[in-house]
Amino acid sequence: MHPNRKSVWPVVIAVILALTPAAALAGFKRINQPNPKDPMAVQIYQLDNGLTIYLTENHETPRFEAQIAVRAGSKQDPAESTGLAHYLEHMLFKGTTNPEKRKAIYAEINQESQLAAQYEIPNEMDKLYKAMGEQGLNAHTWHEETVYQVNLPKNRLEQWAIIESERFQHPVFRLFQPELEIVYEEKNQTLDNKEAVIEFAVNKLLFKKHPYGQQTTIGEVEHLKNPSLKNMYESFEKNYVPGNMAIVISGDIDAGKTIKLIDRYFSEWKAKAVPSPKSWDEKPLQGAERVTVRYKGEEYALLAFRTPGRNDPDAEALKLVDMILNNATAGLIDLNLNQQQKVRRAGSSPEFNNDYGAEYLWGIPKKGQPLKEVEDLLLQQIELIRKGEFEDWIIPAIITDFKKNRKAMLESDESRVAMMRNAFLAFQDWDHAIGEIDRMERLTKEDIVRAASKYFNGGYVAGYRLDEQQEIPKIEKPKIDKIDIDPTRQSEFFKRVLAMKVKEIEPVWVKPGKDYRKVDQAEGVKLYYVRNPLNDLFALTISVDLGTRRDNRL
């Protein structure tokens, strides 16, 4: 699950040490070569402790987007502690498998929490970043990743480095109980979410061994009742190591100065062994495997085909297969099902993870229409691709759409960071990552038919969601008294970080004739325009001087 915003910030006096520059820097080296085909001119470095750094300059706004990615997600959760990576993101605590003993332990924890509250400063990280002008402070956990992100003004780069180097080198897990209640609520939401109910059931059959299907990111109910603090500490020590993590930044930065700053604050982080990857071998699906779930609401059919991981040579052809199926306008599902109103609505979407992927086809029936009929209609669209019965022009049209979207992504620091982050999480060479569309452009219709025939050859999972009331298991929340925390308290760390002198950002005023131009396009029509400095895309807005004040019939 992609969790909600976090605001837990454990503070200890030792963190003040971060404000003192390291006596001896560990050093760094650049690990990629300049590539004239790279529109972002990405520079990739590695500190001597193994930490990877992706940097790209974008001077369109005086801000930067910074994310720290960990190659650890729910896939790495122990089978007896599902949801652990998500717990770790929330910084949670341990329980026990004995219900009565569990209640007694929670009572003791409750007493200790009241004592711990005198050291806790609520939401301090949140407050600190807000005072610095943050946007989008967040974190998420998924199958193979945990990612922490924030967007800040460019003059806050050093303060960001101080805060984040402390977050990962000197964490303190304090006051777990309120966070546990938040995770309980997130779990309850997924149990009563119509998409999650069917997706979990289908994935459990699609991946019978792999954690993609056997472990939910949010965690199983029994494990949420009894979180293991021991496993959480072990997971942190094992996975949150420099060689398993990357800092990814895009924005109004100087890459050369930024890598030196990062080295200054992150080089003291000790190198540790990088965890060895695990593997799970899934047997091929044989025919249609079926599962039915209940949810009071619209009925729904979800079909899932297992595909290879995102680094497989066929991954790019399979992305084209998905777009030929459904691209909102001219895909086979769009033309044959939606526009002809053979179903109420239908579509498809791919998911590519490191070990395996999946192609999902879904459909909502018309009133009284059997779900089996929806399933058959979806399968017919797959069969058309297997037979090559689609227009030749659609492949270059899809490639053009991919190119346009890629260019548009370059205008957003968050999107630029996402491209670099995903390359790191996928263990992809950067030159290989940015060459994806060029490789797609070389694919032929025969390549598409071959890939469709190979992976959509009869073995799939069909999930039906019926319009019936489901039973929702409830998680009994432990009794936790309200914790009295002084909201006005500030740590020395908080005060010293905010007291750092920063160079003020001067406003840049827009100048007519320089930053934009105005011409008389026609009589009574004025055209205001500005050149897009990043790519050849344009947006056009037409404004008419006529509204409800002139004519309330509008």
Instruction: Report phi then psi at 471, rounded to 5.
Output: -95, 125
Distance of CA 415 to the CA centre of its chain: 11
Q: Is the CA virtual torsion 478, 479, 485, 487 positive or negative?
A: positive
For 60-89, give one letter per residue: b (16+ CB within 10 A) or e: eeebbbbbbbbbbbbbbbeeebbbbbbbbb
* pLDDT recorded at residue 468: 92
Per-residue pLDDT for 224 more than 80? Answer: no
Q: What are the structure tokens assigned to 31, written together?
A: 């690990």
Q: Are 177 and 113 in contact (CB under 8 A)?
A: yes
For 119-146, give one letter per residue: b (16+ CB within 10 A) or e: bbbbebbbbbbeebebeebbbbbbbbbb
Q: Are 463 and 302 in contact (CB under 8 A)?
A: yes
Q: Are 40 and 47 in contact (CB under 8 A)?
A: no
- C-alpha–C-alpha distance, residues 51 and 270, integer Å: 10
Distance of CA 426 to the CA centre of its chain: 13
Which residue in the block uniquely carries the two structure tokens 């790279």? 38
**Strand, coil or helix: 183:** helix
Per-residue pLDDT for 206 more than 70? Answer: yes
For the chain, give the mean pLDDT. Answer: 86
* pLDDT recorded at residue 93: 28
Per-residue pLDDT for 88 more than 90? Answer: no
**Strand, coil or helix: 136:** strand
Q: Are 137 and 160 in contact (CB under 8 A)?
A: no
- C-alpha–C-alpha distance, residues 360 and 349, integer Å: 5
* pLDDT recorded at residue 171: 72
Question: Does the global pTM surpass 0.95?
Answer: no
Per-residue pLDDT for 22 more than 80? Answer: no
Q: Identify the DSSP state of 49.
A: T
Closest CA to 17 of 474, 417, 340, 496: 496
Residue bearing the bigger pLDDT, 241 or 82: 241
**Strand, coil or helix: 468:** coil
Kindly indicate the confidence band of residue 80, based on its pLDDT and cuts at 50, 70 and 90. Answer: confident
Q: What are the structure tokens assigned to 96, written together?
A: 């026990």
Instruction: Report phi then psi at 525, rounded to 5.
Output: -120, 120
Instruction: Measure Cα distances from 336 to 48, 305, 345, 390, 399 in Å.
Output: 56, 21, 11, 12, 22
Kindly indicate the confidence band of residue 23, based on its pLDDT and cuts at 50, 70 and 90. Answer: very low
Question: What is the maximum span of the chain, computed from C-alpha positions, in angstroms?
Answer: 83
Kindly indicate the confidence band of residue 90, based on its pLDDT and cuts at 50, 70 and 90. Answer: low
Closest CA to 483 of 185, 95, 119, 99: 119
Tens digit of each residue's pLDDT (9 = 90 or more) over 346-373: 999 999 999 999 999 999 999 999 999 9
- C-alpha–C-alpha distance, residues 239 and 233, integer Å: 10
Q: Are 303 and 381 in contact (CB under 8 A)?
A: no
Tens digit of each residue's pLDDT (9 = 90 or more) over 1-20: 443 333 333 333 333 334 44
Tens digit of each residue's pLDDT (9 = 90 or more) over 259-304: 999 999 999 999 999 999 999 999 999 999 999 999 999 999 999 9
Closest CA to 175 of 92, 96, 103, 84: 92
- Average pLDDT on 212-228 reads 78
Per-residue pLDDT for 75 more than 80? Answer: yes
Kindly indicate the confidence band of residue 94, based on its pLDDT and cuts at 50, 70 and 90. Answer: very low
Task: Determine what percent of the chain falls in helix, strand and coil, rounding each to the nearest 5.
Answer: 40, 20, 45
- C-alpha–C-alpha distance, residues 112 and 103, integer Å: 14
Where on the phi/psi map is residue 24: left (φ > 0), alpha (ψ -120 to 50), or beta? beta
